[in-house]
Chains A and B, each alone.
Chain A
Amino acid sequence: MSTFEALAGNEAVATAMRQINPDLVAAYPITPQTSTVQKFADFVSDGLVDTEFVCVESEHSAMSACVGASAAGARVMTATAANGLALMWEIVYIAASNRCPIVMSLVNRALSGPINIHCDHSDVMGMRDAGWIILFSESGQEAYDNLIQAVRIAEHPDVLLPVAVCQDGFITSHGMERVEVYDDPDVKAFVGQFKPQWSLLDLENPKTYGPLDFYDYYYEHKRQQVDAMEHAQGVIMEVAKEFNAKFGRDYGLFESYRVEDADVAVVAANSTAGTAKVVVDQLRGDGLKVGLLKPRLFRPFPAKELADALGHLKAVAVMDRSISFGAMENAGPLFLELAAALALHGVQMPMADYVYGLGGRDILPGEIESVYRDMLHAAETGQVEQMVTYLSVRE
């Protein structure tokens, strides 16, 4: 029997970590992730987990210790945000290249500068090309569910890639919600035991990890990372199916909310999707055919599936919680990638990008409604008035 508990998103994540009971957690405090490791430290101190908790002196060392421990055959987790992730950056790439199935709770926060502790997605967008699987979560429940699934995805022998599970800093990380917590034995049975294939601690069969790798092999190793990414999408769907059968929550590559018969849709990740659903329902009440597409899997990017899901629309807007400075039209990364995906899969429609909520600025239902109204207008005229809009910014 599962139970329903009032948990903040970070507490839900810490609860998942307690149930997963990883062999090692290496982490460093950073707002707004800190309450995760604090709560997890309670579990360690109270003897509720077997985990070796390595309280490192920096995020760079956190990810370094994670790589060492993962190579050693341990099931390894960490948690971070924003500048912490940026400090890890060098080792974030190495973790993926060494095929270390590390699971990270990433509480999305604006990158400095100026320094800001609140939510946006500039941190995760910096690791887009690092070789990690990236999952978005609308709520604490989703962060909890995704974290449990992430262990299985990361450790799958056809994948062996690290996974980052995102949720929005403060908005969901510190927002109390009703979370369904599954029974400990059920979660433990679901994640199973990690069976490392190339443990550094296999003393009889010594391994060399992280050698110098020049022009004669480096490229092939990068190609193998591509193979792993190609396998990941199928594995993610298999794991989701099994998760649904066991726990009764249906996850896919993305969630389509009233998109199937819609004329226009908005694409928005993490907590904003929840607000947008409310707006969709209101506008549907007015007879407007609108929908929401909420990406769950950002890496690998399910381009074809997204094109299939959105191809029938008359217009689509992307809401981006970060800017790719200097990119085409100074748009957000999600828009750029989705625009490319649609174009390359032969889908032509008016598309616009709405950058919003940087540094934790609130996004209000009225603002999301204005996006829908713009798109309904674009659907009528066949073109957008402005390709990139910075919502509610003081110009």
Chain B
Amino acid sequence: MATKLVPKELMKRPERLAPGHRLCAGCGASIIVRQMMAAIDGPVVLANATGCLEVATTIYPYTAWRVPWIHNAFENAASTISGVEAAYRSLVRQGKMEEQNVKFIAFGGDGGTYDIGIQALSGAAERGHQFLYVCYDNGAYMNTGIQRSSATPLGANTTTSPAGKAIPGKQQNRKDLTAIMAAHNIPYVAQASPSRWRDLMEKTRKAVNCGGAAFINVLSSCNRGWRHAADETIEITQLGVDTCYWPLYEVENGEWRLTYKPKEKPPVEEWLERQGRFRHLFRPENRHIIDQFQEEVDLRWERLLRLCGEA
């Protein structure tokens, strides 16, 4: 029997990511990992792309991981876990190891996933390894000091798309990686947020039991890069969901389904104004960027509603 997704039961689950790791207070990544790990009852083997989650949890000779865990390099978490998973299948098939229903999961940030790791991810997904790839998307290379990635939202101030006198932050819209992964026609793709923890946990369960490759893109806040207080992570990620910057949905065997529909859809500037990385957009001369941002959010949201049969 799977553990019921209720706090009373989940609290009894052993922690797989031990306390004492060195992620910042309020970091979205550790909240996401703990929620997802609590959703899985059986054994897991994890791979991690280079990034905050990796460097802050395994500073030799210490490790915060109470489960098997491997880090290889930045761009290859997907191909690394594909090798682990294929080795497992080989060893089980040959009777060299017992079948134990092991779940293989790779974690990467948006830099390691949208950018440098997209090829390895695409290849592993196409090959149909039974694994879940989790991208914790905080919209920049936070580990190396807040550089823009292809997941960085329009207008964001990062250290390589600084809000300067001539150029007001990042000039491009973000890549839609979740849709790209859905286009791989793998059994399960979803977008989630730690602010909707039960939704994230249900998606995690579906993903690891889908019988093939799965991908979950999880909105993660980095309070250092987003510039908000450490205790606002859940509130601000939820605002990202409610403004439809980060809709929650899943694509299960090609069927698109909205898993959360905000009662109201506040203007995206309510999300933007909570974060220091967008502060410059609120100067009068940059108003058009906020408008442009809203247009893109609306366009993507309406397209998603059509795909989910909600339009």
Contacts and interface: CB of A to CB of B under 8 A. Distances in A.
Interface in B152-207: none
B283 to A, nearest CB: 40
B80 A64 contact: yes
Interface stretch (B28-36, B59-67, B216-224, B262-270): B59-67
A211 B63 contact: yes
B79 A56 contact: yes
A190 B58 CA distance: 39
B147 interface: no
Given A68-B81, A206-B65, A201 B88 contact: yes
Interface hub of A64, A70, A74, A76 (most chain B Cβ within 10 A):
A64
A210 B120 CA distance: 18
Given A201-B68, A206-B69, A210-B72, A64 B79 contact: yes
A108 to B, nearest CB: 25
A316 B200 CA distance: 69
Given A208-B63, A214-B60, A68 B73 contact: no
A60 interface: yes
A58 B89 CA distance: 21
A57 B97 contact: no
A202 interface: yes
A211 B59 contact: yes
A241 B72 CA distance: 36
B59 A24 contact: no
A57 B45 contact: no
B76 A91 contact: yes
Nearest to A65: B83
Given A61-B76, A61-B119, A50 B94 contact: yes
Contacts of B97: 73, 201
Interface hub of A60, A72, A200 (most chain B Cβ within 10 A):
A72
Interface in B42-71: 43, 45, 47, 54-55, 58-61, 63, 65-71
B68 A65 contact: no
B273 interface: no
A344 to B, nearest CB: 35
Contacts of B58: 208, 210-212
B73 A57 contact: no
Given A24-B90, A26-B83, A58-B119, A209 B127 contact: no
A69 B94 contact: no
A68 B63 contact: no
A201 B87 contact: yes
A90 interface: yes
Interface in A33-77: 50-52, 54-58, 60-62, 64-74, 76
Interface string B105-132: 0000000000000011011101100000
A342 to B, nearest CB: 38
Contacts of B88: 72, 201
B86 interface: yes
A72 B69 CA distance: 10
B225 to A, nearest CB: 20
A94 interface: yes
B229 interface: no
Interface residues of B, number: 47
B17 to A, nearest CB: 12
Contacts of B144: none
A24 B87 contact: yes
A23 interface: yes
B77 to A, nearest CB: 9
A52 B128 CA distance: 13
Contacts of A67: 72, 80, 83
A57 B72 contact: no
Contacts of A1: none
A213 B45 CA distance: 21
B82 interface: yes
A69 B88 CA distance: 8
B60 A217 contact: yes
B75 interface: yes
A203 B72 contact: no
Interface in A64-105: 64-74, 76, 90-91, 94, 98
Given A57-B119, A60-B120, A217-B60, A68 B102 contact: no
A65 B86 contact: yes
B143 to A, nearest CB: 11
B91 A73 contact: yes
Contacts of B45: 72, 200-201, 203
A207 interface: yes
B88 to A, nearest CB: 6
B83 A211 contact: no
A268 to B, nearest CB: 36
Contacts of B87: 23-24, 52, 68-70, 72-74, 76, 201
Nearest to A61: B79
A357 to B, nearest CB: 34
B93 interface: yes
A71 B84 contact: yes
Interface of B: 43, 45, 47, 54-55, 58-61, 63, 65-73, 75-76, 78-84, 86-91, 93-94, 96-97, 100, 102, 119-120, 122-124, 126-127
- Which 3 pairs show the lowest CB-CB distances between chains A and B? A68-B83, A57-B123, A65-B83
Given A209-B71, A216-B60, 14 more contacts: A23-B87, A23-B96, A24-B90, A52-B93, A54-B86, A58-B119, A67-B72, A68-B81, A73-B97, A76-B83, A90-B73, A200-B45, A200-B70, A211-B60
